Amino acid sequence: MARPAILRGWFLIRRDLPHGRRVLLTVVSFLLPLALWCVVSYVPWIWHPDVKIELSAEREGVTTVFTAGDHVSREFFPEFVEAVRQENAAVLAAREAGTPGSGAKRKNQKLLRQLAPLAVEQGWLDYTDGQNDAVLYHVWRDLATGARTSADPKLTPENLDIVRRNWAVMSALSPDFSYKQLPDEPLLKIVPQGMPANPVYLPAPHEVFRAAKRDFTAEVPTGELTMGQRYRQSLHIIIAGFLWACVVGIPLGILCGVFDFFSKLLEPFVDFFRYMPAPTFSTLLVAVLLAGDAPKVALVFIGTVFQMILVVSKTTRLLDPALLEAAQTLGAKPRQMITKVVIPGILPNLYNDLRILLGWAWTWLVIAELIGVKSGLTEFIETQGRFRNFERVFPVIILIGVTGFVTDQILSWLHGLLFPWAGKSGNFSRAVASFVSWPFRMVAAGARERIAASEMSTPEVRRNEAS
């Protein structure tokens, strides 16, 4: 039975797929992990070993306090809820028996704040303003009277009932917040509410996205750095470290590749040195170069330069020796062989080497930013990771990934533009190259004509009369 055309030809051994299919698979390669992440995050019956608390409560006599946003295990949560319910039942029982407790003003003020996460979520309260009791008091009022409703998180009927009962008690004493006017008898606690959730280290996409939006746009207190500033700090270190490595590594690499003298003089030691992990020098670097960016730049430099010398010398040695011989027979002197043959000849491969080394430099950057005074994007990752705010960590990790990936893609695209002769460039980059070089070519052509007009001598090509 013949399969439809769309299903045929996906799995051919060592055969390239057509362009359309390749693009499709590239897109899918990104969508697939994203889709997996969404499924694990949003399909409630898949995994979700935790409950993420939306509304929390403090229990009597228990020192462990959970706040909204905390994760508790799925097994423990019902226990937690039940404990609060029992406390409420006790309060109600006492109230019904005509012997309500007293001296609970302080606790009741805290109890009012149980709704703060909900108010923040709804945008009724700024998240830095969770103890604004005056506003919260009115939140209680409005929820009880139905003037406001909360859709997300939605109050359970049980909790709505508790809100109403409490408001009945509170409103009898004062329409607005005043500590003195708070009820003296215990109010009912909001019963904890929560959502099935994955562990904190796997926040859902929307949480990550929201954290990213907030962190990347947030105004920060003076003295702290915005994400943009951190990003620039990191870029500065990696670029400085990498450029220094290029300045030292490329000429040495080429020398080693060209002259056996330098190869035998330098490469054994370089080969040895690169096995000593760069981070092991961090304390030394800080001691020598002190705090600030210098030891960090030096670490990226050390991590990159030794590899670079070896890789560049290898690339140089890979240049077809026949090209050098050809140049010799055309009269090239040793210096010209290096400048006119070796360097232009290895450029495309050298360029690709640098692309790969730049990728490694990012690894060194992350370590570099942790030494001395922590700085840049890594400091943020460190701090937030320590607070287990992984939804704030992921955007920064992704930012680094995207930066590296996009840089590499741009560099790869430029490869075709810079080295059209390498024959790997597509039509598009060739077209761009010819467009970009057009003004130069026009100027050159003009100059050529002017010179040709002024230079009257004829070429001295020795032609022969027929023999």
Partner 1 sequence: MSTHVELPSYREQAPEVAARFARLQQRPVALEVSGLTKKFETPRGVVTALSDVSFSVHKRELMCVIGPSGCGKSTLVRILAGLETATAGELKVYGEPVSGPGPDRGMVFQGYTLFPWLSVKENVMFGPKMAGKSSFTAEREAREWIDLVGLAKFENSYPHQLSGGMKQRVAIARALANQPRVLFMDEPFGALDAQTRCKMQSYLLDIWKNVDITIVFITHDLDEAVFLSDRILVLDANPGRVAEIVEVPVPRPRSEQQLFDPTFMATRKHIDHMMHPPGQEQKEAPVLRMAVADPDVI
Which DSSP symbol is given to 337? Answer: I
| Residues from 388 through 447 that contact partner 1 (CB under 8 A) | 419-423
Q: Can you list the alpha helix ranges (DSSP code H) found in 259-293?
A: 260-273, 282-289
Nearer to partner 1, 265 or 442 (CB): 442
Which of 45, 440 has the CB closer to partner 1?
440
- What x/- string results for residues 81 through 120 when contact with partner 1 is judged by CB under 8 A? ----------------------------------------
Q: Which is nearer to partner 1, 110 or 450 (CB)?
A: 450
Q: How far is the CB of 326 from partner 1 (least distance, A)?
A: 4
Amino acid making up residue 41: S
Alpha carbon distance 33, 39 (integer Å)? 10
Cβ proximity to partner 1: between 217 and 434 the closer is 434
Shortest reach from residue 421's CB to partner 1, in Å: 4
Nearer to partner 1 (CB atom), residue 343 or residue 411: 343
Please give the order of strands across the beta sheet that includes 193-197. Answer: 71-73, 50-55, 193-197
Alpha carbon 448 to chain centroid distance?
Answer: 52
Q: Is 466 in the site for partner 1 (CB under 8 A)?
A: yes
8 Å CB contact between 208 and 394: yes
d(CA 155, CA 55): 9
Q: Residue 167: which of 148, 203, 186, 143 has the closest Cα?
A: 143
Sign of CA pseudo-dihedral 290, 294, 296, 298: negative
Tokens matching residue 60: 């009597």
Residue 322 CA: distances (Å) to CA of 133, 259, 317, 328: 84, 16, 12, 10
Choose among 133, 145, 142: nearest CA to 180.
133
Cβ of residue 352: shortest distance to partner 1, in angstroms? 15
Shortest distance, position 420 Cβ to partner 1, whole Å: 7
Which helix (H) or strand (E) segment is 72 a member of?
strand 71-73
Q: Which is nearer to partner 1, 292 or 334 (CB)?
A: 334
Interface stretch with partner 1, choices 10-18, 289-297, 395-403, 457-465 (CB under 8 A): 457-465
467 binds partner 1 (CB under 8 A): yes
Closest CB 430 distance from partner 1, rounded Å: 10
Cβ atoms of residues 413 and 352 within 8 Å: no
Locate 267 and state its tokens.
């490469």
How many residues bind partner 1, per CB under 8 A? Answer: 34
The interface with partner 1 within residues 309-348 (CB under 8 A) comprises 320, 322-323, 325-333, 336, 340-341, 344-345, 347
Q: Which of 1, 6, 12, 461 binds partner 1 (CB under 8 A)?
A: 461
Map the footprint of partner 1 across residues 170-199, applying CB under 8 A.
none
Residues in contact with partner 1 by the rule CB under 8 A: 320, 322-323, 325-333, 336, 340-341, 344-345, 347, 419-423, 448, 451-452, 455, 459, 461-464, 466-467
